Amino acid sequence: MITVKVFGRLTDYTIKNEFNLTGVKDTDQLLKTLFNKYPMLEGLKFKVSVDRKIINENTALHNGSEVAILPPFSGG
Amino acid sequence: MNRFERQIKLSGFGKASQQKLKEAKVLVVGAGGLGCPALIYLASCGVGEIGIADGDVVSVSNLNRQILFGESDIGKLKPEAAKEHLLSKYSNLKITSINEYITQKNAIEIISGYDIVLDGSDNFPVRYLVNDTCVLLNRPLVFGAIYQYEGQLAVFNVPDESKVKTNYRDLFPEPPEQFEVPDCNQTGVIGVLPGVIGTLQAAEVIKLITGIGRPHINRVLIYDLRNSQFYETTLRPDMKTNSKIPKTVEQLKETDYSLACNSIHSITWSEVEKYLGNFSGKAILVDVREHFEVPRFTHYTNVRIPLSELETDQEYFQNYEVIILFCQAGIRSLKAANIISTRFKDKEVYSVYGGLDNPESPVKTLEYAGKI
């Protein structure tokens, strides 16, 4: 099971700021699953963090992995 | 005894750290929700020289979070008002008020005069510009940003023990499209949230200057006020993003950061006047604010077609070649420009940069001159 944490205005689309997913083996597959479930997320800019490390390429996920989806904030 | 005694006696701090603070020059970009709390702590701890850059004036809606200002400051330039308040608290401060927004034209000159930059700005174009300038000039950048109940913190451009350093583009390579940025009149903020993040930024500045502790290098912190949780993640360089940063001062000056955000052309208020003159009868100026929004803009002839009605009310534009859109802060007009230019590909569509809040707008110019 993978835990997904969602931040900022991305929760407008996912409603929950934390949920679990099963059956995804890497981050590419996870994003595909998320875009299917929440089509509004596709095309938005955000960064993915896996087990508290920001990733720049597809990354394998394991049972218990924690993924965070981080959008940019601009307010001040 | 002096006002720094309690920190000088702190284990690991001492006179040496105080001397470092005294010799430091820190630039605070934006005297807003983040800048105000940061400025108070930077001034109180004895930072030798503080620059405050902001082109905005204090408005009543700022007062829930911009805690340096009070009701008597409304209408004053933020750097001036901030300087006045800080000098009234501590007599021996050196504060430079820079009463203008950071732009690609002045960024190098302003930022090169300081050792460390604290970014408390409130929009993506300035954040990317400040980041790129700090990379170019090799200045540490203490980044803070907020969205509703959440805030982000990071220290960019400072090498860790392995000489690895990261910047904002390693986190977010490019600015979001305008449609991803919430409308200026939609999003709210609770004042204590930038208070928390701005204070964390000041703490990072103090750590960088004095060398105490472990600055938040190559890490990103996200604070959620609602559940009082801090989420921390590590950041590493993303080689693909390096190419997006201007390599020279000249390149940076030529990069249009407002344009890099979107494909719509932004124009200034002085250009509005030229377009209206040159394309007389063929150009139209459109106020896309909602009907209830005041003040009405009467400086140039214009029509009001709110963004919310734009999808259904497009026939009006058929008769014009040049369509210039404005709103209060220049964000909704960009969204409107996207909608119109998608529909009318042969027309020239422009958004007025910064809208009526831009200090160069006819409304603001009159305000400064004391005529309103």
pLDDT confidence of residue B372: 47
Supply the CATH number for residue B241's domain. 3.40.50.720
Residue among B146, B174, B175 whose CB faces A73 most closely: B146
**B112/B192 same-domain check:** yes
Q: Which residues of B113-152 are buried (b: 16+ CB within 10 A; e: fewer)?
A: ebbbbbbbbbbbbbbbbbbbbbbbbebbbbbbbbbbebbb
Quote the minimal CA–CA distance from B281 to chain A in Å: 38
> Domains of chain A: which residue ranges?
2-70
pLDDT confidence of residue B185: 46
Per-residue pLDDT of A22-42, as tens digits, reads 999 999 999 999 999 998 888
pLDDT confidence of residue A1: 95
Range of B194's domain?
A: 5-256
Of the spans B36-45, B251-260, B275-284, which averages the highest pLDDT?
B36-45
**B174/B220 same-domain check:** yes
Per-residue pLDDT of B60-77, as tens digits, reads 999 999 999 999 999 999
**Contact yes or no for B220 and A44 at CB 8 A:** no
Quote the minimal CA–CA distance from B98 to chain A in Å: 18
Per-residue pLDDT of B205-247, as tens digits, reads 999 999 999 999 999 999 999 999 999 999 999 988 878 899 9
Residue among A8, A44, A49 whose CB faces B147 most closely: A8
Give me the CATH code for the A2-70 domain, please: 3.10.20.30
Q: Which residues of B touch A44 (CB under 8 A)?
A: 176, 180
Residue among B124, B174, B222 whose CB faces A74 most closely: B124
**Contact yes or no for A75 and B238 at CB 8 A:** no
Confidence label for B261 from pLDDT (cuts 50, 70 and 90):
very low
- Domain-terminating residue out of B222, B256, B290: B256
pLDDT confidence of residue B40: 98
Supply the CATH number for residue B268's domain. 3.40.250.10
CA distance B329 to B356: 6
The total number of structural domains in chain B stands at 2
CA distance B306 to B103: 29
Tokens of B364: 């603001």
Quote the minimal CA–CA distance from A53 to chain B in Å: 5
**B28/B107 same-domain check:** yes
Q: Residue B79: is its pLDDT beyond 70?
A: yes
Q: Residue B193: is its pLDDT beyond 60?
A: yes
- Domain-terminating residue out of B228, B256, B284: B256
